[in-house]
Amino acid sequence: MVKIIVTNDDGIQAPGILALVKAMRELGEVDVIAPMLNQSATGHKKSLFTDIPVGEVSLADGTRALSVGGSPADCIALAALGVLTWPPDVVVSGINRGPNMGQDITYSGTVTAALEAAINGTQAVAVSFNRRDANQPDDYAEAARVAASVVARVLERKLPPLTILNLNVPNVERVKGIRLTRQGIRIYQDELARDGNLYRIVGPEPSGYTDEEGTDLWAVHNGYASLTPIHLDLTAHRLLADLAAWDITV
């Protein structure tokens, strides 16, 4: 029996994780472990030197799940250390309410939960959904359908070590198809709001981006699901060669 662990960063009661659990159950046996609270944009946070509460809860459809008073990466670290049966065949994180493309992946708890799975030797897929309009009701059906197709293929073909897939699905009734993409470039337009000594970072949604064909941002903005392979080797390999010419001596 295929074993799948589902997590997210929007919190265990978010509608996206429920849609993902239902889709993954078509592929295998599903364990759910996710943050108690919304942990969006917490990055690859690992809670060391502190107690992490874990409790059992029910999702809206009655599914039993583990609720963790920590980050998305904590959920997967705990699972890998014995809180759940490890390793599963795949870890799937999402469906995030909002896209995770370009440099977003460094902020994203959805993506870093998947990276934590890769660090712990298991293949993983991060799934995010591009809400274009905050006033529109969220419908995760299409993102869940696309995620199921991608994860089914991952189970067949297997990802190499320390590598995950980052899937982003546009907010459309039916995607035009799927594009294999590279990470694009976002242009954040954050501004500073201030009230006395209280500061707040506020940015428009959606932010800008460099419109380059073949990138995640390009694909999603053109109605395609975007699938980007992400590697934990963050070395700037092209610079490594140039760096030799700098003649750094110590």
Tell the smallest beta-carbon distance from residue 9 to Mn ion (Å).
Answer: 4
Q: Is the dihedral of CA 155, 161, 162, 166 positive or negative?
A: negative
Classify residue 196 by burial, with Cβ atoms within 10 Å: 0-12, 13-18, 19+: exposed
Instruction: Report the distance separating Cα 195 and Cα 143, nearest Å.
Output: 39
Tell the smallest beta-carbon distance from residue 10 to Mn ion (Å).
Answer: 4
Angle (deg, nearest 10), helices 141-157 and 15-24: 40
Tell the smallest beta-carbon distance from residue 68 to Mn ion (Å).
Answer: 15
Tell the smallest beta-carbon distance from residue 116 to Mn ion (Å).
Answer: 15
Nearer to Mn ion, 2 or 41 (CB): 41
- Which residues, numbered 83-122, are part of the site for Mn ion (CB under 5 A)? 96
Convert residues 7-46 into a mask of x (bound to Mn ion by CB under 5 A) and - (unbound): --xx-----------------------------x------
Q: Is 215 helix (H, G, I), strand (E, B) or coil?
A: strand
Q: Which amino acid is at 144?
A: A
Nearer to Mn ion, 41 or 159 (CB): 41
Residue whose beta carbon is closest to Mn ion: 40
Region near Mn ion per CB under 5 A, out of 1-9, 82-90, 142-150, 205-213: 1-9
Site of interaction with Mn ion (CB under 5 A): 9-10, 40, 96
